[in-house]
């Protein structure tokens, strides 16, 4: 028994020794290898290159952890390869650039001789309204037959237009037959009856035929008094027409108008009497010369253009109304030295402003939208008077694709630029007028408003309700007898929101009503004479990232929409 126990102990000792020899050395080797690897591959460089960003403001990039300078949130580690872009910059991939065939060009100064000094205009051919005529019925009756009944039909002078049954002419013919038998004894009566029929545009031949036959006719023919092309049929067969009622509208296309749209900044380049060279797609190898005969004195507000018109002879019937034409006019002023010129394909025009996309990083596809001021257009290039510098690289092909990418990324673009304007500018457009008495009473209510704002900063719902009630009572005491409609609406809505805040103890609901309150009370504060200096401040993340404003006496940001969560999120956008 003792001998067996001894064998077991010896076996255990041998097993432990063998295990140490096998696994102990492996662990040591592994440890030594790890130590060696760590010494060979130093990660200190990676830690030094780590950048920190804000989850709500990705344009913020800092080399160390801390708080976001915009909203005060804790910065988080940026992803490997993340780029710090400005708020109005976008970055595209090389693959997207290739697929959209986006091309860029470096702009430079326009030099004398770079173009021929001609200004290009686009327009259409229109009928010359000076040559339009209306063929009317000269007597009352029913159209028995309409011989010309569709637009575009050519009409010659003396051509039969229509046959009309005219009861008044039946009586007039009987008068003529009777007067003809008395023309020796009563020549004045006879002459008066013939004149009456002539006033109804009956010819001497027709009158003589009635007189000689002694027979009354029921139907009379109407003949064209001018030649032209039917531009409008204004009656139908079987219609009853009154004397002077139009039947046809005729346009004489022997001469036509070429009407061009000239932009507001080009008006000074044109004068009546200037020569204009005109080409059309129908005859690309022909150039027609015209003279500017009219410049519209009224600017079209929707297109910001004026009509420049030239009269063209069209005896060969080459020009058709509605045809697109291009005109070139030698500008009254020449290209200025050091004026920048850009391809027309680079410019996006919104109707109020002109935009281009500038490549801000020469080594990466990073673009920024920039507003420019256009000068004259010369062929396929624009002259620029402001917005770009010599050497800037701009997108000249695929501009709309870059703009679409900016819109999808929520950045400033042609489509959403209006939404991204400062709230102060939009509020400033609200022209409201208040009396001195109202201004004084309203100014006295603002301290209570400011205490309510401070309570929101402190997230104290009960104090918010109390100060909202006090502010509402002060506004209700103000006389509204001399207020206009807009002024009264803003004041009424402000009181309504204050009452909603006062009767609500839910902090989130109070802040939601505070957004609408400021949309009405801040414009009032901007329109009155204040006894105290105020700052209009804005948080871009409030109101579901639409942004919201508030009034404060301190320039330092204390956000009432988030309190301690993001106390310093916001910026000053205006001061009163």
Q: 77: part of which helix (H) or strand (E)?
A: strand 76-77
| DSSP secondary structure letters along 255-286 | EEEEEEEEEGGGGGG--TT-EEEEEETTEEEE
The confidence score (pLDDT) of residue 421 equals 46
CA angle 183, 189, 192 (to 5 degrees): 115
Identify the CATH assignment for 130-251 out of 1.10.579.10, 1.10.10.10, 3.10.20.90, 2.40.50.100.
Answer: 2.40.50.100
Query: What's the CA dihedral at 287, 292, 296, 301 to 10 degrees?
Result: 30
146 vs 236, 244, 248, CA distance in Å?
A: 7, 16, 10
Distance CA 233, CA 135 (A): 10
Identify the CATH assignment for 103-113+336-420 out of 2.60.120.590, 3.40.190.10, 2.60.120.20, 2.40.420.20.
Answer: 2.40.420.20
pLDDT in tens, 5-38: 666 767 667 766 666 655 555 444 444 444 444 4
Beta bridge mates, 330: 118
- CB within 8 A of 528, min separation 6: which ones? 434, 438, 439, 442, 443
How many residues would you count in the chain? 576
CATH 2.40.420.20 maps onto the chain at 103-113+336-420
pLDDT in tens, 393-403: 888 888 787 77
Identify the CATH assignment for 255-330 out of 3.40.50.1360, 2.60.40.10, 3.40.50.300, 2.40.30.170.
Answer: 2.40.30.170
Mean pLDDT of 191-219: 80
Rg (CA), the chain: 43
Distance CA 553, CA 395 (A): 45
DSSP state of 21: I
CATH 2.40.50.100 maps onto the chain at 130-251
Distance CA 100, CA 90 (A): 15
The SS3 of residue 121 is: strand
Q: Mean pLDDT of all residues in the chain? A: 78
* Cβ proximity of 359 and 352 under 8 Å: no
pLDDT higher for 502 or 419?
A: 502
Beta bridge mates, 377: 382
End-to-end CA gap in the chain: 104
Question: Is residue 409 pLDDT above 70, yes or no?
Answer: no
The SS3 of residue 576 is: coil
The confidence score (pLDDT) of residue 47 equals 44
pLDDT in tens, 115-167: 456 777 888 998 888 888 888 887 788 888 888 888 888 888 888 888 888 88
φ, ψ for residue 566 (rounded to 5)? -145, 70
Beta bridge mates, 309: 259, 294
pLDDT higher for 429 or 163?
A: 163
CA angle 263, 267, 296 (to 5 degrees): 90
The confidence score (pLDDT) of residue 328 equals 85
Distance CA 443, CA 447 (A): 8
């Amino acid at each position: 028994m003792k001998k067996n126990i001894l064998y077991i102990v010896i076996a255990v000792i041998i097993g432990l020794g063998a295990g140490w020899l096998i696994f102990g050395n492996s662990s040591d080797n592994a440890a030594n290898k790890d130590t060696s690897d760590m010494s060979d591959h130093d990660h200190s460089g990676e830690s030094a290159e780590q950048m920190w960003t804000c989850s709500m403001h990705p344009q913020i990039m800092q080399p160390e952890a801390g708080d976001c300078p915009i909203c005060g949130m804790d910065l988080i580690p940026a992803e490997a390869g993340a780029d710090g872009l400005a708020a109005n910059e976008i970055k595209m991939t090389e693959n997207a650039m290739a697929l959209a065939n986006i091309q860029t060009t470096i702009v430079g100064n326009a030099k004398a001789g770079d173009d021929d000094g001609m200004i290009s205009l686009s327009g259409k051919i229109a009928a010359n309204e000076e040559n339009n005529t209306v063929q009317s019925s000269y007597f009352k009756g029913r159209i028995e037959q309409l011989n010309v009944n569709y637009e575009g039909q050519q009409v010659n002078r003396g051509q039969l237009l229509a046959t009309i049954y005219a009861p008044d002419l039946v009586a007039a013919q009987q008068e003529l037959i009777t007067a003809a038998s008395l023309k020796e004894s009563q020549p004045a009566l006879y002459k008066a009856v013939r004149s009456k029929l002539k006033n109804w545009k009956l010819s001497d031949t027709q009158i003589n035929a009635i007189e000689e036959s002694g027979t009354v006719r029921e139907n009379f023919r109407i003949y064209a008094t001018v030649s032209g092309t039917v531009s409008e049929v204004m009656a139908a067969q079987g219609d009853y027409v009154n004397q002077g009622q139009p039947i046809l509208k005729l346009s004489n296309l022997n001469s036509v108008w070429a009407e061009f749209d000239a932009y507001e900044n080009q008006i000074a380049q044109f004068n009546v009497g200037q020569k204009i060279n005109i080409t059309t797609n129908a005859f690309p190898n022909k150039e027609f010369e015209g003279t500017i005969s009219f410049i519209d004195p009224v600017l079209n507000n929707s297109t910001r253009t004026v009509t420049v018109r030239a009269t063209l002879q069209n005896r060969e019937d080459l020009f058709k109304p509605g045809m697109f034409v291009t005109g070139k006019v030698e500008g009254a002023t020449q290209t200025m030295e050091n004026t920048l010129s850009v391809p027309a394909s680079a410019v996006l025009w919104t109707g109020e402003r002109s935009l281009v996309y500038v490549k801000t990083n020469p080594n990466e596809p990073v673009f920024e939208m920039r507003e420019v001021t256009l000068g004259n257009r010369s062929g396929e290039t624009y002259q620029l008077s402001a917005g770009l510098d010599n050497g800037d690289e701009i997108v000249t092909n695929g501009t709309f694709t870059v703009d679409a990418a900016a819109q999808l990324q929520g950045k400033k673009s042609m489509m959403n630029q209006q939404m991204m304007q400062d709230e102060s500018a939009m509020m400033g457009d609200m022209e409201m007028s208040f009396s001195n008495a109202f201004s004084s009473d309203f100014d006295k209510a603002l301290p209570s408003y400011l205490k309510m704002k401070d309570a929101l900063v402190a997230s104290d719902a009960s104090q918010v309700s109390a100060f909202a009630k006090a502010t509402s009572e002060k506004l209700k005491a103000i006389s509204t007898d001399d207020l206009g409609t807009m002024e009264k609406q803003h004041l009424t809505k402000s009181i309504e929101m204050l009452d909603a805040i006062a009767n609500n103890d839910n902090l989130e609901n109070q802040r939601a009503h505070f957004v609408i309150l400021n949309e009405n009370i801040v414009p009032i504060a901007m329109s009155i004479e204040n006894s105290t200096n105020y700052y209009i401040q804005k948080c871009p993340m409030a109101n579901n990232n639409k942004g919201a404003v508030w009034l404060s006496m301190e320039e330092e940001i204390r956000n009432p929409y988030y309190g301690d969560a993001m106390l310093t999120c916001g910026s000053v956008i205006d001061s009163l």
